[in-house]
A and B are shown apart, each in its own frame.
Chain A
Amino acid sequence: MIDPFLAWVESTWLSQWVVGSPSMFAFPGILTLHAIGMGFAVGISAAIDLRILGMAPGVPLGELRRFLPILWAGFWLNAVSGVLLLIGYPTKALTNPVFYLKLTLIGAAMVLLVRISRRVFDENVASTRSGGSLDPPAEITSTLRKLAIASLVCWTGAITAGRLLAYTYHRLTQLH
């Protein structure tokens, strides 16, 4: 049922370009962008989590929202490069349970990011937009700390699962 679809994806020019092109901008370049996007998305998300957990206490927590556009740029870079890699090797990814684990963990990390953002960023927007002084310090509750720890755990899991994809697949393409 799924196999003809995967075979069709692999027969498209885009899939064949991603996998077969000798250009360093094809598969190697896309992989590289995927690693760079990860660095910025996970790195900034982790910095927000670590700030919540007590690192860099002098940084006004609400002001870290200025870094969110970079975080989201990294995320979308990875969504696009990830889809391209998936189009390149659909069978390899979609027949591997670890791939679904990776996606689930990323989904959970994004939900946590949105929940953390709502708690520490949204309430402060009004006060800064009016041009006043620094935001009133967002209250770091135990719930917020738990969300931050869960975020770090999810990212760690997602990265590990992603790396294991290279070792745990059992079918590379429809032919192999």
Chain B
Amino acid sequence: MHDFQVWLVTTIGGRSAIADVMRTAWAWPLAESLHFLGLCLLIGGVGSFDLRLLGIGRRIPIAAMHRFIPCGLLGFAINIATGTLFILTEPDQYIYNPSFHFKLLFMTIGGLNAATFYLTSYRRVFAPDAPLDAPRRAKVIAAISLCAWIGVITGGRLLTFYRPSACEGKQIALLLTCAP
């Protein structure tokens, strides 16, 4: 993994037309603002659907509530796009950052968890005669989803406090968390 991280950082290198634009005065703050807006859309779309599965707004048909998911997906897409811009500009600040590793871990959990929902619960929850109360499995998935996205926000917000320094003399674990 260490070699892969170093390879990623050297390959991206922060040298591209995009990185040059991102280093202008307004591009980075603007991309950050979009990243925060995307966060709100993600929670507003996916988080409110999770809350509905957990029993808030029980009289709203779950299938109807699911129509908010595209709003969450839009937020997610905005954040993948703007997040990619940050990494392309300052790759070492993310690839070697333990907070970013946790952020990716929580994103993976959120993604696999969502896939589990569509594979195991979709049909039962969305059947025309489905009860208004979601089955227990769907509720567990919804709770995991909320925790995962809160974890993603936490990992993102703490990035700046775990900026990687030089590796000299540090013990290196599974992933590089310092700049070699």
**Chain A nearest Cβ from B107, distance in angstroms:** 15
Task: Tell me, yes or no, whether A97 is within 8 Å of chain B by CB.
Answer: no
- Chain A residues numbered 124-172 whose CB sits less than 8 Å from any CB in chain B: 128, 134, 155-156, 159-160, 162-164, 166-167
Across-interface contacts of A43 in B (CB, < 8 A): 40-45, 47-48
**Chain B nearest Cβ from A172, distance in angstroms:** 16
> Do B68 and A163 touch (CB < 8 A)?
no
- Chain A residues numbered 23-57 whose CB sits less than 8 Å from any CB in chain B: 24, 28, 31-32, 35-36, 38-40, 42-47, 50-51, 55-57
Known contacts A59-B60, A66-B56, A160-B33, A24 near B161 by CB under 8 Å: yes
- Chain B residues numbered 131-152 whose CB sits less than 8 Å from any CB in chain A: 149-150
- Report the nearest B residue to A46, measured CB to CB: B44
Q: How far is the CA of A31 from the CA of B32 in the complex (A)?
A: 15
Q: How far is the CA of A122 from the CA of B101 in the complex (A)?
A: 45
What is the size category of the interface that chain A forms with chain B?
35 or more
**Chain A nearest Cβ from B29, distance in angstroms:** 5
Q: How far is the CA of A67 from the CA of B30 in the complex (A)?
A: 30
> Do A56 and B64 touch (CB < 8 A)?
yes
Task: Tell me, yes or no, whether B63 is within 8 Å of chain A by CB.
Answer: yes
Task: Tell me, yes or no, whether A111 is within 8 Å of chain B by CB.
Answer: no
Q: How far is the CA of A35 from the CA of B43 in the complex (A)?
A: 11
Known contacts A38-B39, A50-B71, A32 near B157 by CB under 8 Å: yes
B interface secondary structure, majority: helix
Known contacts A44-B48, A58-B64, A70 near B56 by CB under 8 Å: yes
Residue with the highest number of chain A CB atoms closer than 10 Å, among B37, B44, B60: B44
> Do B59 and A134 touch (CB < 8 A)?
yes
Task: Tell me, yes or no, whether A60 is within 8 Å of chain B by CB.
Answer: yes
- Report the nearest B residue to A164, measured CB to CB: B29
**Chain A nearest Cβ from B56, distance in angstroms:** 5
- Report the nearest B residue to A166, measured CB to CB: B29
Give residues in A with beta carbon < 8 Å to B: 24, 28, 31-32, 35-36, 38-40, 42-47, 50-51, 55-60, 63-64, 66-67, 70, 128, 134, 155-156, 159-160, 162-164, 166-167
Give residues in B with beta carbon < 8 Å to A: 29, 32-33, 36-37, 39-45, 47-48, 51, 56-61, 63-65, 67-68, 70-71, 149-150, 153-154, 156-158, 161
